[in-house]
Structure 1
């Protein structure tokens, strides 16, 4: 776990890097000294365990040059508030952003209210435009060229059973990344839940947004490359009881606190193991959603803590582009990560956990938040949308997002829209009617009784909307259990009893 003083170091660094023109300001010795003085003065009223020493403050200030070297001036890509989180406020061009807003507004949101797909359980606030839980792979129901089966765990993959679904898998699409310019191009025939003809303009825009995210994903992967950091790996539970006598002795023992190096030692650059997606075919799961607030329903209570997907999808990183907001209060995305007790402390050293890390028994780690923008992070972090509300409660407000979930590019491809045909029955019916009306189509030449027989068989080969919505509820129930079990795993991470 990260110690409280170190979290304050992260906080100081992020506060400075959130300032306008911070990269210019860190070159001014007078500004640096001003920040140093302010930071040290603020420590006077802070508890000893959280207090930053002179070395800690100096380390943060000298570390800023390392953050500056990792930034990309042209696209605005910078390190986020915590390890392996990257963001940019100008990653997507104004032109692409405008095209996205227009493309989404016309064919996707301009539909009757009774036909809108409000996310189940969202109190009519989250409008799903494209969601992977609708028409996923349904093992035993989805038809494909090869018999679809749940993934099998290898001997070296010690994943918890609760993280593997035997019933469902989100359906990604395949994109090729050019070996020279790094631009992404869709190679699958479709994106799930986004009709390739009706929503054709969105296909090109999603390619543009994903292309912009490629260098961001590369940086996320570069910081976790080679590290065994999967949240789904199961940890044997502890057992035993609290040692009251030992805790009392620890309480009476002398206490020492960690110290930082006197100045930055290049650790940021050392954490980077370069990883390139150029020349690869990657798999991405696409999501488009709006959060809408009204004067009658003015507050969004926030989401639940979760990672994206299950073991089936093998999602390694997430990217979100918040492309439009109106009349809502500051909105944040909060992060937390599971971890175990440090090996260099005694069992039941709860006093140390409380003082150094701020953790009581069964406590969860602190959270780090970031304002909405284009950002990406590894799927080892749980995240949740923090609560927000209308600013002017007499008018409606909204927030619109495009999410990209990157499947682990280092493994064999999982089933995708390249190998699994569309399952939407309404797509199939519409295509059949178009073919019947096209004089050049072979389908139009079939005898009526044969074409009618084909039409009658379509429900067996495809999934009707009502059936898809029922499967979505089952999928959501399954993944809700994953969140609940995972929360219990998190709360048990610091149960420091004898094993």
Structure 2
């Protein structure tokens, strides 16, 4: 077991190591992949056939059915499920799967027909039967699983724990009743109850310890205001240390922040299977809310097996999903291979007359009718579905117009083992983890009845080294269904894998659902589908997925509604980062409450008036009646020299005010918004580009 508890020999990115430190996988022989930048091995998906993504979508929907794990073995029910799936309109599946795969002119690849067939769905049933056995053992369902996987469960969190979580939300919201903490720029729709962007690590401001000394119960009384100020990273020497990228490609500097880092809490994995916080949760009072800590510990305990199912270290540059391929790799994807098309060339009659095709026919939005061409030897005026001219004889031109791709058939199903191998679970490998916690409530009202679609993103920046997410959707009241959509990077260097002749990749474009030619600027992104985020669902996934929230709104526009959830972000267990064990609480009001909680107004005359006034001057938001009384009725002055020294010490030692923390939150959000914009541009700019042969 790898011992990762704090010691004086610890060093962290930004404290003992460079901020942009990334461990070299060649040294460690393993690493957890991140989708934050496009150069990370393990964050790259294989290109998936449209048909395979459709199968994943159907399996996700079927596994949402009540008692699916029993019904999937009932042949009569299965027959109905297959009929239901075959009745899904091709256009509906196509639009979800090829989302965002247009070129610069907005023109998509010609739509596929008959995306699913009975063979595909019989394969799905066999796979669901295998997943049902894993579900019966663990309560977990792997879904949307190909090069990476999502994991969901509607049963893992029992009613007792749900009630505890509800009580925690009620208590935290009650504390904010007079002044809700609306997350900035959400139009007062998202209430932050616990959020890591408030009171983050601030380089050049935050006090830290090199040792992991700050606990939970002692965090405020023993450690608040202590430690040394962490220096700001400066100069090119801070740019990199360790590993800089994969495949000879560097990691863009914007992937890091040189000003802020979210602070995780440390947890101990107990021998009895439970979880225990060994440092406080940032922005959750460690003394007032000790019972909430216990509730979150139970949620983390339940989330660890879900992470074990879908978050894995990469070894030997192989995939991390733990599953085999559903489809064979194309032997000969070249357009000249007539076996890739129906009808074949020799099954087409030579046309007798000519007319140009309509725009609808070219885009594939109308049924393909018999085309009539002129009697010249060649026909070059007709555009293909990708905008290129159909070339060749009249018969070849007609064939290229009317042909449909032969879609691949799935392989014979072979069951595989879900979950970690022996000795590979988080509990078996590590005795502690670092977890970042967020608790929030989305509140909709008749005046503000809609929540917009989210932006594509991964979690955190490189500073946080987040490798996995667990989301628990606690409560949904009076809102329409919502989903979390997923996608991944693919490789742009496709001509290393596929060998086709000059411009002979139209079959590939059709069956993969994306444009592939040079200058067509189709992004190297693979859509995986979406998972419903319904009440009571635990959802876990690795941080190689880009994801976004679909829009939702009030069901009944005359009544308010809400969606409450808690997010747990798993920090890379192989890369220890600065945590709340290193950083004493920065919340000024926590310190003020504890420092002066026993000071009553009747005892105010025992406190030096200048000291009380200095504290109030430095902390104008302090709400302590005894301190205010001391400023008015306390003992008289101290020597001027001593007061000056005290004032200077207060400037350095007093924790951060709420006003300061909110200013930092806005600046942090600005940095991350810019980063996400840069990341989106990088994702979109990396495009497929078959080389000219």
Give the TM-score band, short-chain normalised: 0.7 to 0.9
For residues 325-346 of structure 1, give each alpha carbon's deviation from its aligned partner in whole angstroms, at most 9, with x where no partner exists. 2111112222222222444346
1:383 aligns with 2:547: yes
1:358 aligns with 2:519: no
Q: Aligned residue for 1:290? A: 441
Q: Aligned residue for 2:471? A: 320
Q: Aligned residue for 1:198? A: 288
Partners of 1:84 and 1:223 within 8 A in 2: no
Partners of 2:69 and 2:135 within 8 A in 1: no
Q: Secondary structure at the match of 1:324?
A: strand
For residues 427-459 of structure 1, give each alpha carbon's deviation from its aligned partner in whole angstroms, at most 9, with x where no partner exists. 222222136569xxxxx9997767756577445
1:226-265 to structure 2, matched below 5 A, reads 257-265=406-414
From the superposition, tell whether residues 348 and 60 of structure 1 become closer, same or farther in structure 2 (CA, over 3 Å): same
For residues 5-56 of structure 1, give each alpha carbon's deviation from its aligned partner in whole angstroms, at most 9, with x where no partner exists. 1111112222222222222122223333444455457689995466234443
From the superposition, tell whether residues 353 and 433 of structure 1 become closer, same or farther in structure 2 (CA, over 3 Å): farther
Q: Aligned residue for 1:433? A: 596
Moved more, 445-454 or 291-300: 445-454
1:79 aligns with 2:139: no
From the superposition, tell whether residues 148 and 2 of structure 1 become closer, same or farther in structure 2 (CA, over 3 Å): farther
Q: Aligned residue for 2:325? A: none
Q: Which one of 628, 633, 652 corresponds to residue 460 of structure 1? A: 652
1:28-427 to structure 2, matched below 5 A, reads 28-36=74-82, 39=85, 48=112, 51-73=115-137, 76-82=139-145, 83-113=148-178, 115-146=179-210, 147=230, 153-158=240-245, 159-179=251-271, 181-188=272-279, 190-222=280-312, 257-266=406-415, 268-269=416-417, 273=421, 275-278=424-427, 279-341=430-492, 342=494, 343-345=496-498, 351-352=506-507, 354-360=509-515, 361-363=521-523, 365-366=526-527, 368-372=529-533, 373-411=537-575, 413-427=576-590
From the superposition, tell whether residues 216 and 288 of structure 1 become closer, same or farther in structure 2 (CA, over 3 Å): same
Partners of 2:310 and 2:419 within 8 A in 1: no
Moved more, 399-408 or 41-50: 41-50
Q: Aligned residue for 1:233? A: none
Partners of 2:308 and 2:419 within 8 A in 1: no
- Structure 2's unaligned 5+ residue stretches are 1-46, 95-110, 211-229, 246-250, 321-385, 516-520, 615-642
How far 1:97 sits from its partner (Å)?
A: 1.5
From the superposition, tell whether residues 309 and 54 of structure 1 become closer, same or farther in structure 2 (CA, over 3 Å): same
What is the TM-score with the length of structure 1 in the denominator?
0.85
Structure 2 CA distance, aligned partners of 1:184 and 1:42? 44
Structure 2 CA distance, aligned partners of 1:122 and 1:228? 40
How far 1:81 sits from its partner (Å)?
A: 3.4
The structure with the largest alpha-carbon Rg is: 2
Partners of 1:169 and 1:313 within 8 A in 2: yes
Partners of 1:139 and 1:149 within 8 A in 2: yes
Q: Secondary structure at the match of 1:289?
A: strand
For residues 269-326 of structure 1, give each alpha carbon's deviation from its aligned partner in whole angstroms, at most 9, with x where no partner exists. 2885553122521000000111000111111113221111010100000011111121
Structure 2 CA distance, aligned partners of 1:414 and 1:44? 47
RMSD: 3.5
Q: Aligned residue for 2:666? A: 473
How far 1:460 sits from its partner (Å)?
A: 3.2
Q: Secondary structure at the match of 2:490?
A: coil
1:20 aligns with 2:66: yes
Structure 2 CA distance, aligned partners of 1:173 and 1:20? 36
Q: Secondary structure at the match of 1:51?
A: coil
Partners of 1:109 and 1:129 within 8 A in 2: no
How far 1:93 sits from its partner (Å)?
A: 2.0
From the superposition, tell whether residues 72 and 315 of structure 1 become closer, same or farther in structure 2 (CA, over 3 Å): farther
Q: Aligned residue for 1:11? A: 57
Q: Aligned residue for 2:219? A: none
Partners of 1:8 and 1:50 within 8 A in 2: no
Partners of 1:293 and 1:299 within 8 A in 2: yes
